[in-house]
Chain A
């Protein structure tokens, strides 16, 4: 039973390039979340998606960042025109549909470490 998968695990981009981070949720999970972890900081929520819908993007920077979770295929976090401050670990998490017990358990992938040079 595969867990949450993310690729690439490490990504190096020059300033101004685009970064694309992919996340495949656990089997049977239809909710995807993206978090960012900066050095010495806690994980910060970015965006919450369900298939073909953005549910909550309150943690996403207004510019350069976008996310999608298409009907088929993985969820994608896209960062355009990257800057050095975007260097961080980006984690994807997934949860099953219908939080009957309202426990909001989320299962995390191994992360993508983005380095902007």
Chain B
């Protein structure tokens, strides 16, 4: 069973549209990170959320950590073709070691 479930698995939208991707778990996490991965490259850290209910903004990207620290969402406003990529959420479990648990990712394609 996957500890972190991401949805949707695939998302194809037109440039200018808004979208939200989700990362859910039944476990509590000390923190959650969102990464973006391009083909043939390593994951690039976008943001870390630590406090339940926390909202962080990075230009057109808005990240939210659930109140119970079990889930998170990423919202992109006015998507651009450069947003295309694999979005991964990862977390360190509360009471666990520093290793990260990853979801399988949401593959986003933004069409011109």
Residues of A within 8 A of B (CB): 4, 6, 31, 33, 35, 40-45, 48, 55-56, 58-59, 91, 93, 95, 99, 101-111, 113
Q: How far is the CB of A65 from chain B (nearest CB, A)?
A: 16
Contact between B104 and A41 (Cβ–Cβ < 8 Å)?
Answer: yes
Contact between B88 and A103 (Cβ–Cβ < 8 Å)?
Answer: no
Q: How many residue pairs at the A-B interface have CB separations less than 8 Å?
A: 77
The CA of A6 and the CA of B40, in the complex, are separated in Å by: 13
Q: Does B78 contact A (CB under 8 A)?
A: no
CB within 8 Å for A95 and B98 given contacts A43-B88, A104-B31, A105-B48? yes
Q: How far is the CB of A100 from chain B (nearest CB, A)?
A: 12
Residues of B within 8 A of A (CB): 2, 4, 30-31, 33, 35, 40-45, 48, 50, 88, 90, 92, 97-105
B residues near A44, Cβ cutoff 8 Å: 102
A111 closest partner in B (C-beta): B42
Contact between A107 and B97 (Cβ–Cβ < 8 Å)?
Answer: no
The 5 closest A-B pairs by CB, nearest first: A108-B42, A104-B92, A45-B99, A42-B102, A42-B104
A47 closest partner in B (C-beta): B99
Q: How far is the CB of B1 from chain A (nearest CB, A)?
A: 12
Residue from B43, B44, B98 within 8 A of A31 (CB atoms): B98
CB within 8 Å for A108 and B35 given contacts A43-B43, A102-B50? yes
A residues near B2, Cβ cutoff 8 Å: 42
Q: How far is the CB of B51 from chain A (nearest CB, A)?
A: 10
Contact between B45 and A59 (Cβ–Cβ < 8 Å)?
Answer: no
